[in-house]
Amino acid sequence: MGDLADRVEELLGRRPLRLSPLAGGCIAEVQRAELADGTRVVVKCSRGAGPDLSLEAWMLRKLRRLGRLPVPEVLAATADILVLEFIDHDDRPPGRRPQRHAAELLASLHAVTAPRFGLERDTLVGPLPQPNEETARWLPFFRDRRLRYMARLARRSGRLPASAFARLERLAERLEKWLEEPARPALLHGDVWSGNILFRGERVAAFLDPAIYFGHPEIELAFTTLFGPFDRVFYDRYAEIAGIAPGFFELRKDIYNLYPLLVHLHLFGSGYLRPITALLDRLGL
């Protein structure tokens, strides 16, 4: 415990009495630290030459500043250490009321807008770079900064076969056939799935591990259909507030989910290739 306890004491001015491991993401070791006054905090430590954790701190602070999405308070941050408030939460799937609350929070987040798609700086999705050079239109942004960028990473890693890469290129050239421009750029959390949302009682306690940028809300909603934790209650409530255009569930969500599937293919291997090629088959590419 010594070295990490020393770092925490240096950052907070208080030494942890004990550290215990927590389930974490793929970019850092995550520990719960208990301080002498009973306060609990979360300490993330970058693995080796991992990503700069001060970028996660920057994203969390920006979310707190721009909207009402609950996120942990950043207590201290350096390139390799991030200290956050500890959020009490339940260890069970969310019921109807917390799902409705999550829908209300994301609809409110998506109401925050900007002049252009992207962001003033690049961010991360998991451990991977996420380029955010701003554009005036959504479809070129999704094509070049999301679909093509991640397909090229997966191709270079050897996880995406040349034939599938060529088919994704054909899709990228024809996105206008299936996707449309949104009315405006919307602020996105960027990585909403069951592992990144904490629930407490009837409400959302916090959203974790953002990958923020301004984009189309549909790409955010699409990702929630891949790894949960929501059912129809969430989507019905979101639609009541912000609307979900016809055709989203039938096809567009699957096109947008190519991006997280390519992320997972690059990181975790061939198990994620089949849904990619199945969609390309469906589209006749």
Task: Please list the active-site residues.
Answer: 191
266-271, long-range: CB < 8 A, 24+ apart: 266/128, 266/150, 266/153, 266/154, 266/157, 266/159, 266/160, 267/26, 267/126, 267/127, 267/128, 269/159, 270/159
Distance CA 110, CA 68 (A): 11
Q: What is the largest CA-CA distance in the chain?
A: 62
258-268 helix and 149-156 helix, angle to the nearest 10 degrees: 20
Distance CA 132, CA 210 (A): 14
- DSSP designation for 51: -
Pairing between strand 74-77 and 81-85?
Answer: antiparallel
Establish how many alpha carbons lie within 13 A of residue 28's alpha carbon, considering only the half-sphere containing its beta carbon. 22
CB 138 within 8 A of CB 145: no
